[in-house]
Structure 1
Amino acid sequence: MKIESLNKKIKLCQKCPRLSTYIRDVAKNKVKRFKDEPYYGKPLSGFGDIKAKLLIVGLAPAAHGGNRTGRMFTGDSSGDWLVKVMHKTGFASIPTSQTSDDGLTLNNAYITAAVRCAPPQNKPTKEEMQNCFSFLEIELHILSNVTTILCLGKIAYDATCKLLDAKPGKFGHNQLFQYNSIKVITSYHPSKQNTQTGRLLWKDWHAVFKRAKKLAS
């Protein structure tokens, strides 16, 4: 399967009634700060360089970030942190990610997620995770140059271990695991809960991407 065919299949997916209803409701009943903006309100595909050696796996689109803009890690604070550090380490063409047509391109990196619809409270169910899993499997098959996977958060790490048929190790920030030919780095997710509480400091976040850059070079 080609990436375009997979992305079309993802966009049309309605396997999870709870998530399908939720993302449509969020798109219809907008928050005040985005009341005049159109919302995408559909499942999201990954994006980036299909020849990439680095695959970045997140949890799921944000309700008022990717679910609004139509691109993962775009239009919210997590996207700001991610793309700023990717620009500093040479993976991204610009340091911001605000809209799906802002000209952002990725070099040697591809961004995806364990779940393709924004879940309520950022908590997908096990069944919803399973429903999305085949998309991740097909993506990795298409992205045949991947040597390194960076997991943003424990849910992303668990999904990656399942993808590689590997037993998860102890999750922590900037941990490195080797599963057959694939190197896996784990990081705290750049959510507000982590960045605004000091759990994830910029220097530690930057260190993860410097490591990823070295491994995926």
Structure 2
Amino acid sequence: MPDERTDDPGYPARQASRMASLEQLDATVPTCRACPRLVEWREHTARVKRRAFQDWDYWARPVPGLGPPDAALAVVGLAPAAHGGNRTGRIFTGDPSGEVLYAALYDVGLASQPTATHRDDGLELYGVRITLPVHCAPPQNRPTPAERDTCRPWLARELELLRPTLRAVVVLGAFGWQALLPVLASAGWRLPRPRPAFGHGAQVLLADERGGRGLHLLGCYHPSQRNVFTGRLTPAMLRAALREGAALAGLPRPSSTDDR
């Protein structure tokens, strides 16, 4: 295979199609430099750092998905946080959104521990894989449409590799929902017309045009600091969405927890 220019906008599309496993995909995603603005920002953030993280050697690369290759449930977010995943190198790790998400995953029996601080902290996910439509930290947490589209082949290949076992997807936020729909359509899941709109609690069953079982799509507000602080999304609401997704995915029913 000839050497690939990782800063070529076509790099994700060419490389993603060659990935034979999720392990290979996860090892290749961090090599990507296809979006100049995102590369500049993630590396600038790693140089400047936050005062609290001056001793950290930032990851400062694209952050791959996390979870087993035979997951029945996927959780789709937005992009890594500049001082979270971009620092730690693991999705939703080391930032306030991750604190809320992993606590909820633990409460419903989908994670081995309620906290995620670094890549070697022992965290394991059970039956669920977490991923993103944009794998680099964007300025102001706002990827451009072009950056979203350039990154799309990584997500498309990830879902294709998960396809034999994937039964449900919980989407955290409107950006992830809109980014995911065309990926699902191109992968052979039939979208209803008009296309389903995002909303917390939104739920739709997508038929499999290849003759397999359908895919349950569920909407949930993103566990951002703003949403949690204002009460738009409470921990109980997040746990309920994850429980519903797990049930639709056919995962073992977790023991009950206090939904305060």
Q: Bin the TM-score by the shorter chain.
A: over 0.9
Query: How big is the shift at 1:37?
Result: 1.3
1:61-114, CA deviations, whole angstroms, 9 ceiling, x for partnerless residues? 000000000000000111111111111111101111111110000010001001
Q: Percent identity?
A: 39
> In structure 1, what is the Cα distance between the partners aligned to 2:116 and 2:69?
19
1:136-159, CA deviations, whole angstroms, 9 ceiling, x for partnerless residues? 111011113111011000111112
State the structure with more CA Rg.
2
SS in 2 for 1:9: helix
> In structure 2, what is the Cα distance between the partners aligned to 1:190 and 1:110?
17
Farther-moved stretch of structure 1 (203-212 vs 105-114)? 203-212
1:29-87, CA deviations, whole angstroms, 9 ceiling, x for partnerless residues? 11111111111000011011111100111100000000000000000111111111111
**1:127 counterpart = 2:146:** yes
1:157 maps to 177
Query: How big is the shift at 1:163?
Result: 1.1
The one-letter code matched in structure 1 to 2:219 is: T
SS in 2 for 1:168: coil
The one-letter code matched in structure 2 to 1:148 is: A
1:59-138 residue pairs with structure 2 within 5 A?
Answer: 59-138=78-157
SS in 2 for 1:47: coil
Q: After the TM superposition, which parts of structure 1 deviate over 4 Å for at least 4 consecutive aligned residues?
A: none
| TM-score, scaled to structure 2 | 0.81
1:120-147, CA deviations, whole angstroms, 9 ceiling, x for partnerless residues? 0010001100011000111011113111
What are structure 1's unaligned runs of at least 5 residues? none
1:177 maps to 204
Q: How many residues align?
A: 217
> In structure 1, what is the Cα distance between the partners aligned to 2:26 and 2:238?
29
Query: How big is the shift at 1:4?
Result: 2.4
What are structure 2's unaligned runs of at least 5 residues? 1-19, 186-190, 208-213, 251-260
Query: How big is the shift at 1:170?
Result: 2.2
The one-letter code matched in structure 2 to 1:215 is: L
1:169-204, CA deviations, whole angstroms, 9 ceiling, x for partnerless residues? 221112111111111000000000100011112221
> In structure 2, what is the Cα distance between the partners aligned to 1:65 and 1:138?
25
> In structure 2, what is the Cα distance between the partners aligned to 1:170 and 1:43?
29
The one-letter code matched in structure 2 to 1:41 is: A
2:5 maps to none
Farther-moved stretch of structure 1 (98-107 vs 5-14)? 5-14
CA RMSD, 1 decimal = 1.0
SS in 1 for 2:75: strand
